Amino acid sequence: MNVNRKVQTLDEFTIQQLRDFPQATGELSHLLRNIGLAAKRVNTEVNKAGLVDILGDFGTVNVQGEEVKKLDIYANDQFTGVLKHGIACAGIASEELDDFVAFDDAKSAKSKYVCLFDPLDGSSNIDVNVSIGTIFGVYRRKTEVGTVVTQEDFLQPGNQQVAAGYIVYGSSTMLVYATRRGVNGFTLDPSIGEWTLSHPDIKCPETGKIYSVNHGNFFQYEKAIQDYIQICQKKDKTNGGPYTQRYIGSMVSDVHRNLIKGGIFMYPGTIDKPKGKLRLLYECNPFAFIVTVAGGKATNGKENILDIQPTELHQRSPMFIGSTQMMEELETYL
């Protein structure tokens, strides 16, 4: 029999990592496994998104008599459900929910982690078949294990993350996650329904050729940002410019590409929205953690994203993230 032992699944990988920590309880591996499971379910529905006219519109009742949910609500229910059901998560906060959810059953209260996520980021792209994603960050709770989690467990700076990751539902489906030990990427093998290690030990290139920003907002940006964008477009650069502009409008895909190829992604504040659009806790922080572990940098223009002490669950922050040398070049303008 021809067994390809080069293929390592997500479960095999996390269990192998556990062996290096004899005192580890396996809770984090369990949590990642749960996220992988919810992501597979979401992936199946995302792949059917174009069939919505045939299968029934969102909000209507489908042929099986079930209500067809909006995909971001469906994704939120999947991630919440699977984490509530598991043994590793004491509560969640989500872009889709006004407040955090404490899992108050005895089993969940004994868990040591909380998870914050954006279940389906970039969901306005679904209708036009553009890649979208899920983003998540995992923290060790501050309150005592055995009690019900409180807001304090969720309002932690990003540097307290134990793990963070994202799933990109693209031409293939990938789950990338980071712990302090490194960043690893797993591609979903649809033939066996398993996440398989395809991108071990991802490092963000020190520099790159791509800059990603919404140019439509150009005249809304402060002068320093406008100057930097123009530098990205100039020919007489010592650093190999002009750069290529790439902006999908789906942060998971944009940052994923720049992480692999090298580049810079920016969502600055604007005149109308000085704090920008992106949410600190479940959009900026997970990516800042992943890219930092991979060797890159992330700031809000003034300080490291990971050092910001959050005050609200849904607070926004400007975001600049990417290859170290490009970030340093940007900082000379800021």
Binding site for ligand AHM (CB under 6 A): 118, 121-124, 214, 249-251, 267, 277
**Nearest distance, CB of residue 319 and ligand AHM, angstroms:** 9
Q: Is 118 in the site for Mg ion (CB under 5 A)?
A: yes
Residue 193 binds which entry of ligand AHM, Mg ion, none, CB below 5-8 Å type-dependent: none
- Listed in sequence order, the residues at least 6 apart from 44 whose beta carbon sits closer than 8 Å to its beta carbon are none
Neighbouring CB atoms inside 10 A of 107's CB total 12
Helix ranges (DSSP H) in the chain: 10-19, 27-47, 52-55, 71-85, 106-109, 151-154, 223-233, 251-261, 285-293, 324-333
| Shorter beta-carbon distance to Mg ion: residue 209 or 256 | 256
Q: Is 254 in the site for Mg ion (CB under 5 A)?
A: no
Residue 96 binds which entry of Mg ion, ligand AHM, none, CB below 5-8 Å type-dependent: none
Q: Coil, strand, or helix at residue 47?
A: helix
Residue 261 binds which entry of Mg ion, ligand AHM, none, CB below 5-8 Å type-dependent: none
Residue 277 binds which entry of Mg ion, ligand AHM, none, CB below 5-8 Å type-dependent: ligand AHM
Query: Looking at beta carbons, which residue is closest to ligand AHM?
Result: 251
**Nearest distance, CB of residue 9 and ligand AHM, angstroms:** 29
**Nearest distance, CB of residue 284 and ligand AHM, angstroms:** 11
**Nearest distance, CB of residue 249 and Mg ion, angstroms:** 11
In angstroms, the Cα distances linking 323 to 158, 211, 231 are 19, 10, 16
Q: Is 121 in the site for Mg ion (CB under 5 A)?
A: yes
Distance CA(114)–CA(105), nearest Å, equals: 14
Residue 27 binds which entry of ligand AHM, Mg ion, none, CB below 5-8 Å type-dependent: none
Q: How many CA atoms lie within 13 A of 73 on its CB side?
A: 6
Residue 123 binds which entry of ligand AHM, Mg ion, none, CB below 5-8 Å type-dependent: ligand AHM
| Shorter beta-carbon distance to ligand AHM: residue 102 or 284 | 284
- Listed in sequence order, the residues at least 6 apart from 49 whose beta carbon sits closer than 8 Å to its beta carbon are 71, 126, 127, 129
Q: Is 329 in the site for Mg ion (CB under 5 A)?
A: no
239 with 279: CB under 8 angstroms?
A: no
Decide the pairing of beta strands 113-121 and 101-102.
unpaired
